[in-house]
Amino acid sequence: MKKLINSADTVLEESLDGLAAAHADILLLGADRKFVRRRNLKPGKVALISGGGSGHEPLHAGFVGHGMLDAACPGQVFTSPTPDQMIEAAEAVDTGVGVLFIVKNYEGDVMNFTMAAEMAGRDVESVVTNDDVAVEKSTYTTGRRGVAGTLIVEKIVGAAAEKGMPLAALKALGDDINRRTRSMGVALLPCTVPAAGRPNFTLGDDEMEMGVGIHGEPGRRRVPLGSADAIAAEMLNAILGDLAPSKGSEVLLLINGFGATPLIELYLMANSAKRILDGAGITATRFLTGSYVTSLDMAGASITVSVLDSQSRELWDAPVHTAALRWGI
């Protein structure tokens, strides 16, 4: 294993210290590094909190700031944060009008965020993301996994919260965006968890895992390596078959790298995906390309399609200022 670390035991703590130092204008670390919070809270704004196992950076801490999250709770690598982290984060960022949890659909995350909501002693609602169409159940989940579509929910709901939308309406909006968003991924090479020191699954030189999860969970099947066009076509056939957008729909297209995929390949995938959408009569009017919901050093990518309407398009375009996303400011 070759990694830029000092010790497998201190990877998360040292990384969080570096994040907070590099973005001290927008971020603060909570006590004992239990959460990352927005430096300047907005009075009267519903607080948005997300979190999950580390190893998916910049999700979630990289999306804390103006127009997105107010706090993020990082667990150890691929391990859910604990309820006390969410409770303390809520106490730190709730300005008195409620808290919305945005939770990826993994059993540990859902269980711990649910416990936190019950124990927080404040007004809390939750949105659970489950955008992965690859499999109905997986290693960590009952039901579909929450993957890169979580970023889209956090951005759009975050913009609405910044504009003053109340808690109940924000939950309804988050649930609606989740329903209109689908994803699927493919792995070309596995990732290596620092504490384990070895790849968490194996792939042959001529194999890929179609429908892989962001923790390296098995997908639909292991298949021979194909061309970018063929990979994009299989993923989009699954996405569009499940999402069933009407011809003429306007969508946001997210091409997300898993950590070890260069941008030249991700933009190539964006080109392949756009041509397929065009052929289906679907127009991608908004794009995001890069490594935003990663799996440590896994090579591969996911495709996410989210159907836009006038409200979600306006909220996607709204200003954002976080460590990982910045525009309009």
DSSP 265-319: HHHHHHHHHHHHHHHTT-EEEEEEEE-SS--TTBEEEEEEEEE--HHHHHHHHS-
Could you confirm whether 60 is annotated as catalytic?
no
Q: List the catalytic residue out of 23, 56, 60, 66.
A: 56
Question: What's the half-sphere exposure (Cβ side, CA atoms, 13 Å) at 132?
Answer: 33
Question: How far is 171 from 127, CA to CA, in rounded Å?
Answer: 6
Question: How far is 187 from 123, CA to CA, in rounded Å?
Answer: 40
Q: List the catalytic residue out of 23, 60, 66, 215.
A: 215
List residues bridging with 182 in a β-sheet.
Answer: 305
Could you confirm whether 215 is annotated as catalytic?
yes
Helix (H, G, I), strand (E, B) or coil at 104: strand
Q: Which two tokens stand for residue 4?
A: 């830029």
CA angle 225, 230, 233 (to 5 degrees): 135
Residue 11 has a CB neighbour count (10 Å cut-off) of 20
Report the catalytic residues.
56, 215
